[in-house]
Amino acid sequence: MPITRGATRRAVALPLLLASAVGLAACSGGDGSSSSAGGKALVVDTSFNLKTADPGRMYEQTGLLIDRALYDTLLTFQGSDVSKPVPALAESYELSKDGKKLTLKLRQGAVFSDGSPVTADDVVFSLNRVRDLKGNPSFLLDGVKVEKTDATTVTLVSAKPNPSLPFVLPNPALGIVNSKVVQANGGAAGPADKAEAYLNKQSAGSGPYVLESFNAATQVVLKANDKYWGATKPTYKKVVLRNVQSQTQKLNVQRGDSQVAVDLTADQAQGIGGGTQTTKGASANVFFLLTNRNPAVSKTTSNPKFAEAVRKGVDYAGLLELGGAGSVQAAGIVPSMINGALTADQAPKRDVAGAKAALASAGIANPRVKLEYPSDFTLNGLSFQPLAERVQANLKEVGITVDLAPAPIATALESYRDGKEEMGLWWWSPDYPDASNYLAFVPGGLIGERSGWKKGADKELEDAGAKVATTVGDDRFAQYRQIQSQLNARGPFVQLLQPSQRFVTAGSVTGMAGNPVWTFDIAALGSK
């Protein structure tokens, strides 16, 4: 399975810079090939993480950005706010009291780019296709049965309570396709599907843009859908997305050859000038340390007091200097913009004396451990190397010797996935913006297992995780906060920071808002 968001699912093409949940204002500027008026093109420079435009197979960051513009989903999020799903192709939705049945009433008047209406049959085909292709995004609908109730109603029935499903449905991988067109071009709900080649040449959605050309290595061009059904039509008649590395992105946006630069580092964005503006905010990516609880891997890190010493020994404020302006300390594993996150005052604080006391009480004298992390990977402009070096220096003050062990990401991932790291420095990004996505960190969960924290290691936490997974309603968010407090107190993880994501733009585009799922909404860009 390819490396993914959170180093678990989403495929990554290097170098990858994931987007954040920040608001911003953006751009237009000047070589005549692009402008904010007159229907000319908007040029967006970003480092491509892209394989396909087919929503049934797409789960890369650039693909999500593109398919957000091509394919409407049943539900969506408003701007940067991922706290509440809002209507899109579905005008309303209702989750049953047991959390197993989600009923969606379809909006009337929505049409595909060929002018044909969006129907319940299209919804059923589209969602079944994603689930049954067994591609990267299929897990989003694991255990979900999609049914047409009547011409205007669709129900999604889960095998077990699924209160997070409304937060899953806005994902662009679940965009609704024109079933007749896709089936006529090889589409099917299952392994017999052959529609990807067609969907990489032209789109079959109801979104504000259609696909004009697609090259996963160099450039993707979108043009406005002249049959778009929505009340707000796209401002830009054409959008050109180019695969450009960060240093060139800086030069292009400075001289007006592009209007949006997505992937600049903090140093590159500082004092950029040229009539540009920079908007900063915390990303949804959480950097964390793991300390392996498997005594066969490490007799040192398997002692819970060692994790306590590390947690108290880290200088969190110092790490924020590396994250850049706009970064925040990760109070818990759930990032700050997602329901159920801990508040800033609940974040761990540095306590060098307490860290030394934890080591002494455990009888651990002068511990020496190996810290593994990827050497060739950058996230939100932050390399893992300086972060690891800062942790090394912090823990030296506590009496812990940390030997740095950087490795190419493919090598580091193998050790991480196999649960063989004594200590690891990694990150987690949400597959969908719901706290349930972070139950992977309880004992027996995906990351718990990778940290040697197997099922049965902490029955209280495991029971709490099982309970909240089936809890319906806003009461579940308080339960997630309690679980994180317990993870902070006795888990093998040390959450470090949410680094800053920055967007550098020229001055005249309006309406930009970062989103942790699709980076930003191309169709929301306006002009002043």
More confident residue, 429 or 220: 220
Residue 375, pLDDT > 90, answer yes
Binning pLDDT at 50, 70 and 90, where does residue 2 land? Answer: very low
Residue 13's pLDDT is: 37
Domain residue extents for the chain: 5-280+502-527, 286-498
The answer to whether the beta carbons of residues 110 and 117 sit under 8 Å apart is yes
More confident residue, 434 or 38: 434
> Rounded mean pLDDT of 102-127?
98
Residue 209, pLDDT > 60, answer yes
The answer to whether the beta carbons of residues 41 and 240 sit under 8 Å apart is yes
Binning pLDDT at 50, 70 and 90, where does residue 278 land? Answer: confident
Residue 355, pLDDT > 90, answer yes
> Rounded mean pLDDT of 28-42?
48
Element (H, E) at 192: none
More confident residue, 377 or 38: 377
- CATH fit for domain 5-280+502-527, picks 3.30.2320.30, 3.40.50.10190, 3.40.190.10, 3.40.50.300: 3.40.190.10
Interval 431-458: pLDDT, tens = 999 999 999 999 999 999 999 999 999 9
More confident residue, 490 or 13: 490
What is the CATH number assigned to the segment(s) 286-498?
A: 3.10.105.10
Question: Which contacts (CB < 8 Å, 24+ apart) does range 263-270 have?
Answer: 263/17, 263/45, 263/46, 263/47, 263/381, 264/381, 264/502, 264/504, 265/324, 265/378, 265/381, 265/382, 266/323, 266/324, 266/325, 266/381, 266/500, 266/502, 267/381, 268/381, 269/502, 269/504
Write out 27-75 in H/E/C secondary structure: CCCCCCCECCCCCCEEEEEECCCCCCCCCCCCCCHHHHHHHHHHCCCCE
Residue 281's pLDDT is: 85
Residue 399 sits at the vertex; the CA angle it makes with 398 and 403, to the nearest 5 degrees, is 110
Interval 60-106: pLDDT, tens = 999 999 999 999 999 999 999 999 999 999 999 999 999 999 999 99
Binning pLDDT at 50, 70 and 90, where does residue 8 land? Answer: very low
> Rounded mean pLDDT of 491-506?
92
Residue 362, pLDDT > 80, answer yes
Interval 235-275: pLDDT, tens = 999 999 999 998 999 999 999 899 999 988 888 888 888 88
Residue 113's pLDDT is: 98
Residue 525's pLDDT is: 85
What string of DSSP letters covers 404-448? EEEE-HHHHHHHHHTT--SEEEEEE--SSSSGGGGGGGSTTSHHH
Residue 280's pLDDT is: 82
CA 142 to chain centre: 19
pTM for this entry = 0.89
**The domains spanning 5-280+502-527 and 286-498 adopt the same CATH topology:** no
More confident residue, 116 or 278: 116
Residue 481 sits at the vertex; the CA angle it makes with 478 and 484, to the nearest 5 degrees, is 155
| Residue type at 74 in one-letter notation | L
Binning pLDDT at 50, 70 and 90, where does residue 521 land? Answer: very high
Interval 122-180: pLDDT, tens = 999 999 999 999 999 999 999 999 999 999 999 999 999 999 999 999 999 999 999 99
Average pLDDT, the chain: 91
Residue 39, pLDDT > 70, answer no
Residue 239's pLDDT is: 97
